[in-house]
Chains A and B, each alone.
Chain A
Amino acid sequence: MKYWRVPLDIDTVQIPHGVVHIDIDLCKGCAFCEEYCPRDVLAMSDAFNRKGYHYPEVVKSGECVNCGLCEAICPEFAIFCTEGEPGPAAAWAVQPGEEAP
């Protein structure tokens, strides 16, 4: 994701970062987390868990902003986020010469 317009104070802004933890044995493969993750961090894996369900996997771990939506919507208590190291927002800025999204 890139900013469409670069804010003037972008150097001072820190973006929170989350680390997603998944208990794959509790998962029943409903895909609520994958569908509603606002940053598309998760994807359903091709592998099965012990009950035969496809479980979610973290595919874009750098994109997670620790919003906690996956934790709140998971009906199985199988996924949660912990706070990671916040990163500078400047990394999201459109670089000179790059086309704005």
Chain B
Amino acid sequence: MNVTEQPFSQSLEIPSTEESLKHPMEDYLRIERFPHIWCATCGLGTVLTAFITGLQKSELDPDKVSVVSGIGCTGRSAGYLRLDSFHSTHGRAVPFATGLALGNPELKVAVISGDGDLIAIGGNHFIHTARRNIDMTVICVNNFNYAMTGGQAGPTTPLTANASTAPYGCYEYPFNLPYLAESSGAVYVARWTALHIRRLANAICEALLKPGFSFIEVICPCSTLYARRNRLGSGLDLMKHYHDQAIIRHGADTSELQIDFQKEIIVGKFVDIEKPTFARKRDDYLSERLGKDYVPYKGP
């Protein structure tokens, strides 16, 4: 029997958008992979939009931009971007990006990954890359738990927040990410929430154009695990919480940026300093020490 397959939407007579128009960001997206796997009311898609907007604003050549991700919900970002992108192993997004940045100095490398990937398993890589001031942009999407594996407590889970491995509330002190980045040596440190779409896009543009290790923390709603386990409603309710509780304080002292459970979130641009990058420091120092014997690496 020959059954012609009818699309589900046609059989129910659901209207769909006109075919001729395409989304303005479609050139930057692997649209054939959409809809993406992120939950309804998760803010990761908004962060990806902000990244593309920031990239467009920075007017960098997309062929010279590379995006690296680790594992986790946020780790999917690299796969959805139509750039030279790489989905690396757990925690190793930053070392992979280090290799890219040093191997091809023309390339602008961005890392988009989650708190569990960058700060937990990749914490050591993170601090040493910041210390060396390698030319890359790290966007750490903080949703306060390990969301892809079932909502376990991570290094950013606020005190007293419920997680699947902390059923009576988390009793570990969490990391203060801007403080960690600044004290490790980052030249640009900012924090925004998924609601601050325009400021976040501007910060991403600034960070991409900044030579050296730039770090942006993005607070992002996790509806399925963090919000559900803590009875905070949906992602939209978390967005409303950011609207009410986020305080913009540029240049704030990063040691005071601890996030307490459902308390105020201080956002803004905290650090923006000039410092020679790893590659420049290496070339300057070795040229001075070795003279003509030193041949600087110019790329492949």
A residues apposed to B, CB below 8 Å: 21-26, 28-32, 35, 47, 49-51, 53, 69, 71-77, 80, 82
Contact = CB atoms under 8 A, between A and B. Distances in A.
B23 A77 contact: yes
A80 B17 CA distance: 11
Given A28-B35, A28-B41, A74 B49 contact: yes
Given A32-B239, A72-B49, A72-B197, A50 B21 contact: no
B8 A32 contact: no
10 contacts: A21-B21, A26-B34, A50-B8, A50-B9, A73-B49, A75-B41, A75-B43, A75-B49, A77-B25, A82-B21
Contacts of A71: 24, 49
Contact of B45 (A21, A23, A47, A74): A74
Interface of B: 8-9, 12, 14-18, 21, 23-25, 29, 31, 34-36, 38-46, 48-50, 53, 195, 197-198, 201, 234-236, 239-240
Nearest to A51: B35
Nearest to B12: A50
Contacts of A22: 17
B14 A30 contact: no
Contacts of A53: 40
Nearest to A81: B24
Contacts of A50: 8-9, 12, 14
Contacts, number: 86
Nearest to B31: A77
A25 B43 CA distance: 19
Contacts of A69: 197
B46 A75 contact: yes
A77 B32 CA distance: 12
